[in-house]
Structure 1
Amino acid sequence: MFKVESVRLLDPSQNLDQIVDVLVNEGVIVEIQDPGSKAPAGSKVIEGQGLCMSPGFVDMHVHFRDPGQLHKEDLETGSQAAVAGGYTSVMCMPNTLPAIDSVDTVAYILDKAKKIDLCKVYPVGAVSKSLMGKDLSPIEDLARAGCVAFSDDGKPVEDTALLRKALLRTKALNMPLIEHCEENDLSRALVTIHEGEVASKLGLKGISTSAETVDVARLIALSFETGAKVHLAHLSCGQSIEFLQSIRGMKHQITSEVTPHHLLLTDQVIEDIGTLGKMYPPLRTQWDCDQMVLGLREGLIDAVATDHAPHTEKEKSVEFSKAPNGVIGLETALTVLLDLVSSKKIELLSLIRSMSTRPAEILGLRAGSLAKGMPADFVLFSLDEEVSFARTRFASRSQNTPFRNFVGKGKIKATFVGGREVYSNWN
């Protein structure tokens, strides 16, 4: 048994933002007490004065490259990166080699994650076999094996008839289908950069916002027709927010996410950071960025997900058009997102909700809350300590962050899973 003493508890599930003592025993939250309450005899005390305590973060969208591309990342280094960033639950996308389209691959991931025993790892099953968009995966078998959602992330499900069939099957399971929002006919032959001034300056043919919004509209229509749960991955452009605004107040099963980089960076940074600013969807304009923040603040966007996508330095050290899409994000997320709080663009409790409580609700996980009886999955962090990533050697096997030059405040001090400290940085 231990007590976190005089800590600022931020728990959106209980609408709490106050100084308390939190008592933990046998891996669960036992009691939330007034500060200064007497600890039970023999209890260890963690001094929380000056720190925030929130539910452990839940990332709906990571790529741990395991199995198949272990030179970029694996379940162990990915889990180390997760807990270093305060994440206690992560959802692994299915574009591994092989794809997560079989019970055997699901078992491999779950067994390996259990042995590593850091964060909780949940596989996302492939919608189609080998992500080829031709035949549906054994969706029901994958759900029974432990998948929490389904996606062909890395690419959209192009065949609308196949997508509709998949939605009817995921609806029967009451599970979300996560769509990588891209209309390939509008992006296939182009370079992954926003169609605009920066692309023109670099002599590149960029991707229009309609490459995203056409697919967003398709998924909205299909979700309304089928009643299936649809989750729109990594939104990037303002018109997508306008679409979500247009269905607000209607009964629907549509949720969405945004990445830290699409909240904070525009395509202008590419001139400075090059391929570290290349990802799908591409970084867009300041207006789009502002609309993403607006969408998050107003609850049109439900979750912040990192889309943690490791690549080696060698893979990124090529000309822009040939570099792979993707950046890492687990270890930088909290610090960079707190910049939105300090600039008063979003409230702290709302940010924590989007990083923990809401994604847990979407996926039906027993997480995202520190109410009595819940698992003691939590993070302790400081709002005041300055953090620079300039010389940081990340726990991730890859170092491809777009935030290398970022300086901000907000430092993870410790991460706990099931009441067990799995990461600490008390220095």
Structure 2
Amino acid sequence: MSDPVRTIAFLVLRAVEQDDAYVNLLLPRMLAEHKVTGRDAAFATELVHGTVRQQGTYDAVIDTLSSRTIDPAVRDALRLGAHQLLSLRVPNHAAVSETVDVVRREIGHKPVGFVNAILRKVGARSLDDWIEELSAGLDPDDARSVRSSHPRWVVEAFRDALDGTDDDLDALLEADNAPPRVTLVARPGLAAPDELPGEPGRHSPFARIMADGDPGSVAAVREGRAGVQDEGSQLVALTLADAVLTGSDARWLDLCAGPGGKAALLGALAAQRGAHLVANELQHHRAELVRSSMRLLPDVEVTEHDGRAGPWDAATFDRVLVDAPCTGLGALRRRPEARWRRRPEDLATLTDLQRGLLERALELTRPGGVTVYATCSPHRAETTGIVAAVTADRDDVTVETTHQWWPHVHGTDAMFAAVLRRR
């Protein structure tokens, strides 16, 4: 590769588009494979994450300049060039010429002239100027969609979930587009927070927030005594662990444990209290990730079942976590491709699954025990809507509290958690 950074960025964009790849999994692997490190790795990371986050805005600019149908690979190259021209401090001539070289090598000679012409027009104006032109005549939320590079339905869902002002909504959309800092978790009994680099977290006593650097270089992370985990995710696990119980507190269950971050924190806390954690995950490859995260916690049982039909007896667990599969709209900072991959019609399938999992979790919780229902989504259909639907006709369940954390308020992913107690 004559320009490995931009070539890797382009290939990752193609995999995201073609193969539904995940940026946070594929990009580090490709950087390691091609031995790209330091500033080049940081630049590649910004190219990929920034391009995917802002692709809605860039597509609007590109489509203004071309009325023809654009081949998907060519569009990815145009998005990559537009990000350099409009959002990074890359000189126009370098952004255009280097992107054109990637097109020539990875796609072929035929679209070179077209890409060169479009990118020169893109770079002739600033991002603010483009947004002003694109937003003219649009209603406020369509304009927000273009400006913030969020689909209109996501903007509307966030507005509904916030139940606040336009300023709140704009602050959330802006926070979604800001690269998140790496947050570490010290697993209790295995690592102390002060042996991890970075400043203390704002909310979790086990969190440390790194200013920069590779978390893989931290000894405690390599050894499995600590992990990389957003502070909102830590708070979900702590919400379950900190709920007050009377009577038995010996059996804990994480019903949807993959990939294992919350389960590892729960397992460490359970070990300190002499409790046994069952960490369940339906998909085998994700269950293997759970096993890896639990390798230093011998009293954790990893199982592989559909959480709605696992072989557990009713009313046998003291604490149960349902970290339900969801749209992932709360983690758009970390998984930028999710905003383009999810559709409103996905909600019907997901909410059916979420209801089934919460109903099963309540069945497995003993009287007096607690269930925490959590999602990495603030969408009301996946949060308070599920809790209300499941508990509406039950007199044996009390909703004690709900939490909604936000990127623009708490500095976390937009995590939701509800504490339900069996009477």
Higher relative contact order (CA 8 A, sep 6+): 1
Structure with higher helix content: 2
TM-score (norm 2): 0.27
> Which structure is larger by alpha-carbon Rg, 1 or 2?
2
Q: More strand by proportion, 1 or 2?
A: 1
Question: Normalization by structure 1: what TM-score?
Answer: 0.26
